[in-house]
Every structure is written in structure tokens, then in C-alpha cells.
Structure 1
């Protein structure tokens, strides 16, 4: 492509569309550990049981490009859980203004709760992180008019609400706002993390 003549940034491989997508996913993976990364909190879009779109922010808990996997958590009583239980396909959107990079990643989401995987993750969570799931009322419930705090569930009961969500990457749409000409690639990913992609018009 004739707009690749300007110097490439050191964080992206512009030599071909598959490598471009792979390097973008590597940058996304940094958001798991780096709270200052623009990719630490990302947008998740789902469909409600009535077919309405719903978008919210989620914290990126895991990103394993070699296994075509993204990880986030939710509450079993949440709308997000209801949505994914009805329609498992979802899409992630993330944008890093510093790197001028947008990622749209889609695929089916599998929900893991009350299982060995969830128990292991729960065991390594801080008390503050566990407290998110300890509210006796579900997410979105009206607060009491007297503003009295709702009682908290014990740790065992809170664990019942904890869900690990695995988004299995199948479609990638990566856009780089490049000086001199934007670059965009659309591709697919298999379970082994292998990418097939093409350059497309931005």
C-alpha cells in the first residue's frame, strides 16, 4: 500500500495485515497489567434478550492472542450475564488515543462460574475485588429510599455471583490513524491464534 512509506511506529508491524493485527493484539495485552493503559478498560457490546444493543465498560482481565482469548469478569445477576446467556456473540471495542489505534474484536463468549476455573481466580482476588460481588441486591437494583447501605453477602455467597467470561476471538477489525494515510485490516482468527487478514479501505 502506498501509504506505508512513512516510518512505522515501533509498536506496530505494518509489513502485512496479519502481522499488523498480531502486533495490535500484543499492545492490547499490555492493558491487562497496566492500569494506565487505554486498553485496561474496554467497551463490550452485547444484545439484550429483546434484541436491543447494550454497551458498557469492562476491565480487561486477560488477553492471550496465541489462544485467541480475551477475559473479563461479571456478576451472575447482571444484564451482561443475561445477554450473553441468550446470545453468546459479543464485540469488544477499544481505542488508544496515544497510539492512534482502534480495535474491534468479536466472537462467542463462554461463561464460567461455580467451577474450578472460577474458584482458582476467586482465590487470588483481593478482598476489595470480591466485595464487588457481595452486594445483596443485584446490579441495577434501586437503592433504598433512606439510602441505608444494603447488607453484604458473606464470601461464600458472594462467590456464587462471580463469573469469568472468555471471549473467543473470531473476527478482528484494526484501524491505525496513521499520518499520511490511515491503515485498516480486517481478518479472522482460529482457535490456535492464527490470523488471516486483508488490508481494507479505512
Structure 2
């Protein structure tokens, strides 16, 4: 099993920290893991992304090339992923033509912020999970900067029935190790709220 995940967002949204926590959580599960980062200047924009490869065997190539899941935190990040516009199959997304995400396989999990990202994706092509990530971080958790950890909560729920499940407990342990001690409780709350809205989003899907 080889499972590839990308967390991408605009500068300041904590995509790289989220990818680090995700990688650490996967290690807690006993997987082999690699994690790489790309910063804004390297992508010719203000976006940054963290890529995580998870496997039950040693990983011989650490870069992603066929993503199984992607977390998109901003419109800018979404636009960075778009590669083309084939004929749409799902009329409910609004436009006649749909966007396709580069290096994202058919059937992949696509978690995105329901308020910040305009979805033009084909729901028959991807497993779309829209959740109020930034709004939850701001209004429920009380700190918008935790939206990256809220997003991981949503992702955790989405991964439960995938070939690469990662438990809530492993994410919590990863958060405890990855963030400064004074922010651990805040980020645990953010993750829990992400799990909550992730379950709600999946029930609607």
C-alpha cells in the first residue's frame, strides 16, 4: 500500500505544520512515512504545500505523483492545483465544464473549505468533502490560525474507510509532540471540532 496526501493553502494557513502532524500521526500508526514541503516562492505564488507519502513498506520514492487525498485551504491553493476543463458529468456544481486537479487520481478524497473555496470539481470524479473549516476555527475554537488542525480533523474522518486509516488517538499524540505545550489544548480542541464537522459533512455527502 502506498498512499499520497497533500495539504495545500495560502501562506500563513499552516499547511506545512498540518502535513507534519499528519506524517507524525501516520508514524504513530506504524506506517513508513516521508514528508516534503514546497514553499510559496518555489511555486511562483503565495501558496505552500506539504506532501506526505504513507506506506506499509519502505518508501523508495519520497515525492508524490498520484495523490489519493488533498486538503485545500484557499481559493489560491485550489487554483494552483487546477489542470484543465473536461466535460462535466455532475450539473450540480454550476458550470458546464469542470476543473481537474493535477496529479490527483480519480476517486481521491478532496477536503476543502466550504466558505473559502469555490468548488468546480466533478462530484462523480472525486470524493468531495466541503466543511466550514476556517469558520469553525474562528467561531468555535476561537483562533483562526487553527484552521489547519481543524482540516486534519475533517481528513481523519474521511480516511476512516480508506486503505490508510489513521486513528484520532494517533493524531492527538502527534499534536502533543508537534506544537508548543501552551497551544496543545487549543489544537486538540481544533482537531475535535474538525472531526465533528467532518462527520457532518460526510453525512450530507
TM-score, length basis structure 2: 0.28
Higher helix share: 2
Higher strand share: 1
Larger radius of gyration: 1
